[in-house]
Amino acid sequence: MVEDWPLATMDYQTMKPSEVHPTDIFRERHDFMGQTVSINYSPEQKWYYLDKQTPEEVTLIKIWDNKEDVARPIPLISYAIAPKNDLFQFSLKSTPNVAIKAPSTAVDVLIIGGGPAGLSAATTLYRHQHDIRIFDDGKPRNVWETAIHATPTWEGQNPNEFRRKSRKELAKTGLVDFISSTVESIQKKDDGLFYVRTSDGVEWTGRKVLLSTGVRFAFLDIPGYEENFPERIFHCLFTFGYDHRGSSSAGILAVGYAGSPFHANILVDDARKFTDKVTIYTNGNEALAGEIQKVSNYNDTAYDHRKITRFTKLPKSIQLHFDDGKIKEEAFIVHQPGTKVNPSFVEQLGLELSERGDIVTKMPFYQTNVAGVYAAGDAANPFKIISSAMLQGANAGAGIARELPIRVTGNAIDRLS
Ligand SMILES: Cc1cc2nc3c(=O)[nH]c(=O)nc-3n(C[C@H](O)[C@H](O)[C@H](O)COP(=O)(O)OP(=O)(O)OC[C@H]3O[C@@H](n4cnc5c(N)ncnc54)[C@H](O)[C@@H]3O)c2cc1C
Task: Say if residues 220 and 129 touch (Cβ distance below 8 Å).
Answer: no
Q: What is the mean pLDDT of residues 16-30?
A: 66
Looking at residue 27, its pLDDT comes to: 60
Location of each CATH 3.50.50.60 domain in the chain: 107-215+341-409, 219-334
**Would strands 233-234 and 176-179 be described as parallel, antiparallel, or unpaired?**
unpaired
Tens digits of residue pLDDT in 130-160: 999 999 999 999 999 999 999 999 999 999 9
Give the integer Cα–Cα distance in Å for 294 and 265: 11
Query: Which residues, at least 6 apart from 104, have a Cβ–Cβ distance to it below 8 Å?
Result: none
Cis peptide before 382 (omega within 30 of 0): no
C-alpha to C-alpha distance for 137 and 348, rounded to whole angstroms: 19
Q: What is the structure's pLDDT at 7?
A: 78
Which of 385, 387, 391, 392 is the pocket-test mutation for ligand 1 (most atoms within 8 Å of CB)? Answer: 385
| Predicted pLDDT at 76 | 67
* pLDDT tier at 93, thresholds 50, 70, 90: very low
- CA dist list (Å): 320 to 14, 219, 228, 280, 313: 68, 16, 11, 12, 9
CA-to-CA separations, 236 to 77, 233, 332, in angstroms, rounded: 57, 9, 12
**Residues paired with 196 in a beta bridge:** 186, 204
Span from the CA of 139 to the centroid of ligand 1 (angstroms):
8
Mean pLDDT, the chain, as a whole number?
88
Contact yes or no for 327/317 (Cβ under 8 A): no
Q: If you take atom 2 of ligand 1, which residue's CA is the nearest one?
A: 142
Name the CATH topology of 219-334.
FAD/NAD(P)-binding domain (3.50.50)
> Quick one: which of 251, 264, 188 has its CA closest to 16?
188
> Taking the C-alpha atoms of 166, 167, 170 and 175 in order, what is their torsion angle to the nearest 10 degrees?
160
- What is the reported pTM? 0.78
**β-strand pairing of 183-188 with 373-375:** unpaired
Distance 271 CA to ligand 1 centre (A): 24
| Cβ count within 10 A of residue 25 | 10
Contact (CB, 8 A) for 267 and 243? no
List all residues whose CB is within 6 A of at least one atom of ligand 1: 112-118, 135-142, 144, 146, 148-151, 182-183, 212-214, 230, 239, 342, 377-378, 384-387, 389
CATH of domain 107-215+341-409: 3.50.50.60
More confident of the two residues 194 and 62: 194
Cα–Cα distance for residue pair 196/112, rounded to 1 Å: 9
- Beta-carbon count within 10 A of 78 CB: 12
Angle, to 10 degrees, between the axis of helix 159-171 and the axis of helix 116-125? Answer: 20
Listed range (74-83, 257-266, 286-295, 325-334) with the worst mean pLDDT: 74-83
Question: What percentage of the chain has pLDDT greater than the value 90?
Answer: 72
Distance, CA of 151 to CA of 26 (rounded, Å): 36
Is residue 232 predicted with pLDDT exceeding 90?
yes
Task: Look at residue 128 and tell me whether its pLDDT is greater than 80.
Answer: yes
- Ligand 1: which of 366, 386, 390 to mutate, judged by most atoms within 8 Å of the beta carbon? 386
- pLDDT of residue 407 exceeding 80: yes
| 295-317: average pLDDT | 96
Atom 20 in ligand 1: which residue has the minimum CA distance?
A: 386
Amino acid letter at 193? L
